[in-house]
């Protein structure tokens, strides 16, 4: 088996939380701290999601057009579009049909209501999301990171990796006193998502594909 080197550099994200002396004097420091920490946590999580989805989208090996948007009043066929893309992934990789259950489909958050709407499938009423999850045993997850396309990803060590810094050389949480202002807390994280290339110098992976035009 031949190997080749892949070099990556982690991204640094940092947020600062300030608890002012005035908040302490008003006995509001607990509320200010709690709200600030929650906002900081959401911000860091969103940064990681952005890094992950940007990398996966760039690493997509190809795309399949939905034809009709999934939110259209008629003519939409999400199940067929998904089946086409899954078939392409299986055809272009060494993955087996048993690996289909490791596939995750990410779709725009604003499609959530449309994909949860009951429709008639085989003389039964169920949502597209429930049908796909039941028939293919795959994840169907909404995200704010996508707007008009859906991302189909087969989870595998051969698809992509997300690495984080867990060492002790760089402090990930620090506290400092700002004279005349208050207490400042600094939270630092290092992370990076990267595609596992299928060939030296490559940047895409056939276990990732895009379905375009799912929202209009």
pLDDT band of residue 57 (cuts 50, 70, 90) is very high
pLDDT in the model for residue 5: 86
Q: pLDDT tens digit string along 82-135?
A: 999 999 999 999 999 889 999 999 999 999 988 888 766 556 677 878 877 887
Residues in Cβ contact with 56 at an 8 Å cutoff, skipping those fewer than 6 apart: 151, 153, 160, 193, 195, 208
pLDDT band of residue 74 (cuts 50, 70, 90) is confident
pLDDT band of residue 59 (cuts 50, 70, 90) is very high
For residues 70 and 213, is the Cβ–Cβ distance under 8 A? Answer: no
In the structure encoding, which two tokens stand for residue 150, read together? 């859906």
pLDDT score of 23 more than 70: yes
Q: Residue 193 and residue 44: Cα distance in Å, rounded?
A: 14
pTM (two decimals): 0.87
**Cα distance from N-terminal residue to C-terminal residue, the chain:** 46
pLDDT in the model for residue 120: 61
Q: pLDDT tens digit string along 135-193?
A: 778 889 999 999 999 999 999 999 999 999 999 999 999 999 999 999 999 999 999 99
For residues 133 and 107, is the Cβ–Cβ distance under 8 A? Answer: no
Q: Residue 65 and residue 86: Cα distance in Å, rounded?
A: 13
């Amino acid at each position: 088996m031949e190997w080749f080197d892949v070099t990556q550099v982690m991204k640094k994200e940092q947020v600062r939380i300030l608890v002012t002396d005035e908040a302490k004097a008003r006995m509001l420091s607990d509320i200010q701290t709690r709200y600030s920490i929650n906002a900081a946590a959401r911000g860091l999580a969103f940064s990681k999601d952005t890094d992950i989805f940007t990398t996966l989208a760039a690493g997509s090996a190809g795309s399949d057009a939905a034809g009709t948007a999934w939110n259209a009043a008629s003519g939409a066929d999400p199940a067929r579009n998904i089946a086409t893309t899954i078939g392409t992934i299986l055809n272009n990789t060494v993955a087996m049909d048993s690996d289909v259950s490791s596939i995750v489909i990410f779709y725009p958050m604003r499609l959530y209501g449309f994909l949860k709407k009951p429709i008639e499938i085989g003389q039964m009423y169920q949502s597209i999301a429930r049908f796909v999850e039941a028939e293919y045993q795959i994840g169907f997850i909404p995200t704010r990171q996508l707007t008009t396309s859906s991302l189909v990803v087969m989870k595998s060590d051969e698809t992509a990796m997300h690495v984080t810094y867990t060492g002790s050389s760089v402090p990930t949480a620090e506290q400092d006193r700002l004279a005349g202002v208050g207490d400042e807390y600094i939270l630092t994280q290092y992370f990076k998502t990267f595609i596992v290339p299928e060939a030296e110098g490559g940047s895409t992976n056939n276990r990732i594909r895009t379905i375009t035009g799912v929202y209009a």
